[in-house]
Chains A and B, each alone.
Chain A
Amino acid sequence: MTLEQHLSKHKEKIVGKWFDLLAGTYPPETVRLFNTQSDPFANPVGHTFRTAIGEIIEEFFGLNRPEALTPLLDKVIRVRAVQRFSPSEALSFVFGLKPIVEEALEEELAEGEAGTEDLREFERKVQGLGLLAFDVYVRCRENLYEIKVEEIKSNTRRLLERAQLIVGE
């Protein structure tokens, strides 16, 4: 059995734990909201996270294509990029996947069904995911700076346009 096959056995558990880890970076009141409100519009962040975490795991344990993972990571990171987190705090959840998976595979590791080499290979993949997340985070922040400039431009565009017309006359 390959590591991927072992992992897919524990997928649901891993998704749950990874979501809890992500939610745990918010205050207890907010974690409660994330966990209890099922309406996606009354709980937009919790709902987005829960859906995206499942989708990321699905892709990551499966085909693991960067082009497919990028928009999925974006769903989570776009939110965290404008919240109170420092860059490292915003992305720490990605690396939290390593101990979660190690714990989930405890039995397989103990019984020798999965080896440390498999685990090391998996950790390398997580590092790749971390780098991809870094790209997404930076893109979101760049986007934030771009929209600031865009907004200032559109606030004054008409005036400048008019002023240039006057100068040209």
Chain B
Amino acid sequence: MAKVPKPNELELEHGMPQTGWMDTPTIFRPGNFSYPGKAKNLKVVGLANPREWSPNDADWKLPADWKNILLEGLRERLDKYRTLKVYMDICVRCGACADKCHFYLGSGDPKNMPVLRAELLRSVYRKEFTLAGKIMGKMVGARDLTEDVVKEWFMYFFQCTECRRCSLFCPYGIDTAEFTIIGRELLNLIGCNIDWIAGPVANCYQTGNHLGIQPHAFKDMIDFFVDEIEAVNGIRIEPTFNRKGAEVLFVTPSGDVFADPGTYTLMGYLMLFHEIGLDYTWSTYASEGGNFGFFTSHEMMKRLNSKIYAEAKRLGVKYIIGGECGHMWRVINQYMDTVNGPADFLEVPKSSITGTTFHNAASTKMIHLVEFTADLIKNGKLKLDATRNDHLKVTYHDSCNTARGMGFLDEPRYVLNSVCNNFYEMPPNTIREQTFCCGSGSGLNNDEFMEMRMRGGLPRANAVRHVHEKFGVNALSCICAIDRAALPTLMNYWVPDVTVYGLHELVGNALVMEGETERTTDLRGEPLPGMEDSENEDI
């Protein structure tokens, strides 16, 4: 007869395992990992080992010589990237970064501490590339590269958004995001990647944007917004596409074209350019500012980025303006000139409206729209009615890549303060350089990863909730397309009364255009303050 357990034996133990990190197994559960890259998407761009597999499977169908591929890949990158080599050796494990990661703060999982995330790779480096590690093994934090280690890498390198908040606190200046970048690059060598990245990469390579929208549909969507703007203020805008000889090429993330609320931000772009009479063109070829190649490998980033300069050259423009995006700007600011430059066929960006030369972009020849707009406002070139945003109490989320990566801290605030009257900052240790990530960057904004995204976005949402409760903030503004896609969901879970806006949507609301009819609604068709009783039959 089976032994019947006594009541006290039925008690559940809900504590954490008290094992060391090397001995704590990686467990894949729905919600904590992203679906793997589909074979068809990998084949499009020639990525390694295309196959059908799942992280839940015991057998990941790795290539026969996977271990050798990874170690050779690591060796090659240690030689190529001096930073990686230095970062491998200089960390003293002081722990300054440990509690700075949004994923760690939200999950409580120590392997989300940046120091430990780096240690996942560093432990293998020690074992294979250092004498001490070879001889003393675990005593000096070294371990063998096994399939379990690969699984752990996959779990945790795709639980990091490369936001670089941790690097801000490192006394040695170690950029932990580089471990993630290299970790993902290595995993790609053996075909371990996620489809939310591989799919957009394949689409971008084939048709020019993440969703794989073809040129006619791209143009069609923008024409749709032209109609919507006309319904709001009676102004008919006539954007041009692939027009040779334009002064400026404008490139923005395709999320602005297809996904709400980025679409309203795009309406703001159209209105602004029309009002100042900018000689610019859209491209249906370089129809994506985002670059998920950056989340795959340096090589893939270069391939996908190259179309921007190629199109600028083909169209014969003078310089390039980019829309509101985050990681797009990290690629442009930090890598584009090196990997695809020099863009000697372009001119140093000079605003034909204000005469300002953007010497900061002397080399890349590409500027961010927020600096362009700030310059227009500074020079009094825009007529703005900030009261049109009086129904909003606005706070600003510094997108990681534009704030920490580029130093756009004051330009967006300057624009915000010009287009709305109620602006409230979140607490100092959650904004500007110390901004908390949305929790969905670097290709992780997929729906199967929702639980992790809510954990990762918790510190950001916590700060938004604070200003919501203290000042009645009801609008969260940002200058990043992934933010615009991810933050509404984050707010929906944590602070449901807050709506997300792109900065140029607020500009579009406030912009007084020459010849406009009486404005009664904002770009979403919501009544403007004082116009609640007006009927607008066009909306």
* A interface with B by C-beta (< 8 Å): 24-30, 33, 37, 39-45, 48, 78-79, 82-85, 88-89, 92, 143-144, 146-148, 150-152, 154-159, 162, 165
Residue from the list B108, B263, B451 in contact with A158, Cβ < 8 A: B263
**Interface of B (DSSP majority class):** helix
Q: How many A-B residue pairs have CB under 8 A?
A: 112
Flag whether B107 is at the interface (Cβ < 8 A): yes
Please report the C-alpha to C-alpha distance between residue A41 and residue B31 in the assembled complex, in whole angstroms. Answer: 25
Tell me whether A27 and B16 are in contact (CB under 8 A).
yes
Please report the C-alpha to C-alpha distance between residue A150 and residue B220 in the assembled complex, in whole angstroms. Answer: 24
Q: Which of A28, A44, A48 has the largest count of B CB atoms less than 10 A from its CB?
A: A44
Q: In the complex, how many residues of chain B place their beta carbon closer than 8 angstroms to a beta carbon of chain A?
A: 44
Please report the C-alpha to C-alpha distance between residue A150 and residue B108 in the assembled complex, in whole angstroms. Answer: 28
Please report the C-alpha to C-alpha distance between residue A27 and residue B322 in the assembled complex, in whole angstroms. Answer: 44
**Interface-facing stretch out of B80-88, B133-141, B484-492:** B484-492
Please report the C-alpha to C-alpha distance between residue A85 and residue B29 in the assembled complex, in whole angstroms. Answer: 11
Tell me whether A151 and B99 are in contact (CB under 8 A).
no
- List residues of B (99-113) whose CB comes within 8 Å of A's CBs: 99, 105-110, 113
**Interface-facing stretch out of B61-69, B288-296, B363-371, B454-462:** B454-462
Chain B residue at smallest Cβ distance from A141:
B451
Tell me whether A41 and B430 are in contact (CB under 8 A).
yes
Tell me whether B263 and A26 are in contact (CB under 8 A).
no
Tell me whether A162 and B15 are in contact (CB under 8 A).
no
**Interface of A (DSSP majority class):** helix
Residue from the list B14, B29, B106, B258 in contact with A156, Cβ < 8 A: B258
Tell me whether B106 and A45 are in contact (CB under 8 A).
yes
Tell me whether A144 and B450 are in contact (CB under 8 A).
yes
Please report the C-alpha to C-alpha distance between residue A158 and residue B220 in the assembled complex, in whole angstroms. Answer: 11
- List residues of B (2-28) whose CB comes within 8 Å of A's CBs: 12, 14-16, 18
Task: Chain B residues near A155: list those with CB within 8 A.
Answer: 258-259, 485
Flag whether B526 is at the interface (Cβ < 8 A): no
Tell me whether A158 and B259 are in contact (CB under 8 A).
yes
Tell me whether A42 and B263 are in contact (CB under 8 A).
no
Task: Chain A residues near B261: list those with CB within 8 A.
Answer: 154
Interface mask (B218-258 → A, CB under 8 Å = 1, otherwise 0): 00110010000000000000000000000000000000001
**Contact A88/B12 with A29-B110, A162-B224 known, Cβ cut-off 8 Å:** yes
Flag whether B494 is at the interface (Cβ < 8 A): yes
Tell me whether B489 and A37 are in contact (CB under 8 A).
no
